[in-house]
């Protein structure tokens, strides 16, 4: 019986809380990256990172996982 009352109270609290909206403390500008001087990378940097990741993935062993405890 106590659990039922707790569930009802929680449902009522959730319903009441859902009617009150919360606004952002600080709205972000439309141009967020430029306003905060965030670095933007060129496509050459992206391609270099992509090539590096591909070479790292090629070094991983292929095939089935070893059998045994923990696998």
Tens digit of each residue's pLDDT (9 = 90 or more) over 16-39: 777 776 666 666 666 655 555 556
Task: Enter the tokens of residue 67.
Answer: 């059998």
Q: How far is CA 20 from CA 11, 15, 35, 60, in A?
A: 15, 10, 31, 52
* Alpha carbons 54 and 4: distance in angstroms, whole number: 56
> Would the pTM of this model clear 0.85, i.e. be above it?
no
Flag whether pLDDT at 64 surpasses 80: no
Say how far apart CA 16 and CA 12 lie, in whole Å. Answer: 6
Which pLDDT tens digit goes with each residue over 39-62? 666 778 888 888 898 888 888 877
Does the pLDDT at position 8 exceed 80?
A: yes
């Amino acid at each position: 019986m106590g659990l039922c009352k707790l569930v009802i109270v929680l449902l009522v609290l959730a319903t009441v809380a859902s009617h009150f909206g919360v606004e952002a403390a600080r709205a972000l500008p439309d141009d967020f990256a430029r306003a905060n001087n965030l670095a933007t990378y060129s496509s050459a940097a992206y391609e270099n990172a992509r090539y590096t990741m591909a070479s790292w993935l090629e070094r991983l062993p292929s095939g089935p996982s070893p059998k045994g405890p923990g696998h």
